[in-house]
Amino acid sequence: MGKPKHMTNKQNPFAKKKRDNKQKVRRPPVRRDKPYESIVLANESFEAYYKHQQICSDEAEWDQFMAHMRKNLPVTFRITGSKAQAMLLLKLIKEDFFEEYFRAVKELRKEDEDSHVEPPRCLEWYPRGMAWQLELSRKDIRRSEPLFKLHNFLISETSSGYISRQEAVSMIPPLVLGVESHHRVLDMCAAPGSKTAQLIESLHAGDGNTIPKGFVMANDVDNNRCYMLVHQTKRLNSPCFLVTNGDSSTYPSMRYTKDGVVCPLKFDRVLCDVPCSGDGTLRKNADIWTKWNLAQASNLHGLQYRILKRGAELLDVGGKLVYSTCSLNPIENEAVLHHLLKETEDSLEIIECSSLLPTLQFSKGMTYWEPASKDLVFYKTFDDVPESQRTVLRPGMFPPSKDDAISKFHLDRCLRILPHQQNTGGFFVALLQKKKTLPWEEDIQETESTVVADPPAKKAKYMRGFKEDPFVFFDEKEEVFESLNKFFHLKEDFEPRNLLTRCRVGKKKNVYFCSSIVRDIVQLNEKRIKIINLGVKSFVRCATRNIECDFRLASEGLANVYPFVGIQRRVLVQKEDLIKLLSCTDPTKPPEIGELTSETQKNLLTVASGSCVLECVVDDVKLVSVGWKGAMSLRAYVDQYDTVHLLRLLGGDLTKFEKNKFQEKRNAAEAADDVELDESNVADEAESNPASESND
């Protein structure tokens, strides 16, 4: 969702630590003034401001609005991955978890009549029933085994990337943007990355067997948050994705190759989920109750306008742009849009998007509002603003006439989602389409070999973050590729130039893979923008004897290179055999080939030792994983999270991988009962057979 201004940056997990002899200064941890439990969930200025703006239709709705603002948010998640595998996982969730969940809800209600636990609710406006909402608290999870199991399941599947925990309203902007596999997509303020992940999923929503022709470029101005973004999207393993680090309000123009000619890069889809005051997140960020004031919105209006304007400039004619915030304030929402629409004349238009979200409850965009000073003095026009306030309240913050607001600017087509409408956070979304070039763009003579003029960039006082390793793409003479090509029998249409490493000299440890358009953009624009990350690890150097190739397949990039791997390196394994391979917890003792089914053994006969692809069909869905055939054994190269995911789809035993504290308590209680029973038996035996008295 929109980035609240108060959000703190996480430390860069990838930065290398430098040793020095300087004494480290210990800084006390940053603590809240009060724990959440003692924060008073009220703010007089907040209530007075939004009541004046008539954000709710009447007093009854206002009471509902404020009541929900003070409640905890429900848990929401969506199922990701390929269509076939997502449907298989959804079926499993409904059969193995939701049925138990329903029973648990009934039991909790019997124990506690005031229990607020509700059955799982499908978010009907999300496509294919892939998003769900659960109303449960930590207390409920601790006291109910089915709820605890569901909680652990969500954590496990989130780690493997097949489920995404994300607030419901945060899912809306990527949905209305309508990304398709051929689109060039820019996410201007991307961190922490939940919406970026949705954009990538939409790009790959086709048959899953072909690499999309489009790409997603995700940017953030904060270097540390860029690495948070990399971590969030890493699980998607997309070769059509790259992360950049730059100021989105002055984002540079770039080039790419189209039909053999270098030309300006314009985007088909742009997401402007801009930094905001974040008062729509009060339900999960209780600190905002104590810090909220109108100065935040006024200070951010200019930045939000500049980001939106730059996004519109980078958008191709006919393309679509989503402007969104997690703020309810019209100064950060409708006023920003009106500010730009006035300047672009009829080049941009807010278009209707509610039809893309069937059953979603929302309020239409505001057509009238009154900017106010920090001390809540409201003004109807800019002429009414005193000179002392004109550095804070600007002309662009004021609304158009009521007739123009609807007939000319279509502000009523915006969506404002209020918390009480379907038990969510607060959010604002507007979908715009570029009808023609912007007025000031017409003065720039563009040719297919030139780039549009960049906006003036701020002078950098120092280089943000640390220097990135280079992106070194393979050329036609690359020896490593010859080895990979020969061993894995890569198909003729595999493009070796899309392989890259992160070092110019020395042995190549990891080989990454990206799409052709991403390679082209990087090679043409490396000096124009700081690129943080791209490509998916696809081959890993391994120390093995008597193997023709020094590299094995990497699980991360298997989905991308698998279609190009020859049948000589593929093995069809039976379901029970894959369960056996995945259930092996001792990597030094993988299952021997002789222990596998005769069908799998037969399929292994034509595969030479070394890295291979394991294929298994479950309910007409093909599951693939990285394997290694040894002289006498076969193993699966799968990390713990993917192991649990695959075993779950295969119906395997997960007790080795998942802890059940309820079962542990039962076992401890049974053990205690056994000890008590043994002691009781000993006492009974002693009583019935008393020892003979001493003769002393």
The catalytic residue positions are: 326
The Cα–Cα gap between 38 and 58 comes to 30
Quickly count: other Cβ atoms within 10 Å of residue 90's Cβ. 17
Is residue 240 within 8 Å of residue 212, measured between CB atoms? yes
From the number of C-beta atoms within 10 Å of its C-beta (0-12, 13-18, 19+), residue 84 rates as: middle
Q: How far is CA 572 from CA 76, 165, 597, 600, in A?
A: 37, 33, 11, 7
Written as six digits, the tokens of 160 are 């493997």
What are the E-state strand segments in 456-514?
Answer: 472-473, 499-501, 510-513
Quickly count: other Cβ atoms within 10 Å of residue 654's Cβ. 16
What are the E-state strand segments in 520-651?
Answer: 530-534, 536-541, 551-553, 570-572, 610-618, 621-629, 634-637
What are the E-state strand segments in 421-495?
Answer: 427-434, 472-473
Task: Name the 3-class secondary structure at 503.
Answer: coil
Distance from the first to the final alpha carbon of the chain: 88
Q: 633: which strand partners?
A: 592
Q: Going by C-beta distance under 8 Å and a sequence separation of 6 or more, which residues neighbour residue 304?
A: 274, 275, 276, 325, 332, 336
CA Rg, the chain, in Å? 30
Closest listed residue to residue 263, CA positions, set 512, 521, 24: 521
Each residue of 116-155: b (16+ CB within 10 Å) or e? Answer: ebeebeebebbeeebbbbbbbeeebbebbbbbbbbbbbbe
The Cα–Cα gap between 232 and 200 comes to 12
> What is the DSSP code (8-state) at residue 609?
S
Q: How far is CA 641 from the centre of its chain?
A: 17
Helix count and strand count (H, E) for the chain: 21, 27
The Cα–Cα gap between 375 and 379 comes to 12
- H or E element, residue 375: none
Give the pairing of strands 427-434 and 315-325.
Answer: antiparallel
> What is the DSSP code (8-state) at residue 37?
G
The three state secondary structure string of 289-337 is HHHCCHHHHHHHHHHHHHHHHHHHHHEEEEEEEEEEECCCCCCCCHHHH
Q: How far is CA 652 from CA 82, 97, 230, 369, 587, in A?
A: 21, 16, 32, 59, 19
